[in-house]
């Protein structure tokens, strides 16, 4: 089974994280996506945020990585923490995929339907292994 490499960003403000709601699955997920050929995880995360949220970001740090299986695909996801540049408000840049974006309190994430990747993120968050600033 080939591994799909992905990267995305946790944009956190006032102990709330910005997530997108995917229409097809009905879950909330981090903005991010597949790392293309010749692309680093960091550059993929920056590109994906621009495509999905129409904003520019600055990456603060790598938070961690997690391998998991989703829909019979082997995935490896790299999480970064980032902040928005230029005080621009994020908007949905791919309305055919996403119908909502919202900041959700970190301690209330389990109240939402989350993607497998976000469930992994929450597990690591609870373990205190992410080092979120």
Q: What is the pTM of this model?
A: 0.91
Q: Does 119 map to a domain?
A: yes
In a domain, 25, yes or no: yes
**CATH number reported for the structural domain that contains residue 107 in this entry:** 3.90.79.10
Q: What's the chain's Rg over C-alpha atoms? A: 14
Give, in degrees to the nearest 5, the angle at Cα 17 between 92 and 70: 75
- Total domains, the chain: 1
Domain limits at 13?
3-127
Straight-line distance from the first to the last Cα atom of the chain, in angstroms, rounded to the nearest whole number:
35
132 part of a folded domain: no
Mean pLDDT for 109-126 is 94
The residue to which tokens 């680093």 are assigned: 40
Examine residue 104 and state whether it is found in any structural domain, yes or no: yes
Query: pLDDT by residue (tens digit) across 51-110?
Result: 999 999 999 999 999 998 877 889 899 999 999 998 889 999 999 999 999 999 999 999
Please enumerate in sequence order all residues whose Cβ is within 8 A of that of 46, keeping only pairs 6 or more positions apart, or say none: 56, 57, 59, 82
In a domain? residue 133: no
């Amino acid at each position: 089974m080939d591994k799909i490499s992905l990267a995305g960003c946790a944009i956190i403000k006032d102990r709330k994280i910005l997530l997108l709601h995917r229409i097809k699955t009905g879950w909330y997920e981090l903005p991010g996506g597949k790392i293309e050929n010749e692309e680093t995880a960091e550059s993929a995360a920056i590109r994906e945020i621009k495509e999905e949220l129409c904003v520019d970001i600055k990456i603060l740090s790598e938070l961690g990585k997690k391998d998991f299986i989703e829909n019979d695909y082997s995935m490896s996801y790299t999480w970064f923490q980032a902040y928005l540049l230029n005080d621009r408000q994020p908007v949905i840049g791919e309305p055919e995929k996403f119908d909502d974006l919202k900041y959700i309190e970190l301690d209330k994430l389990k109240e939402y339907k989350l993607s497998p990747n976000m469930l992994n993120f929450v597990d690591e968050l609870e373990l205190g292994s992410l080092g979120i600033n």
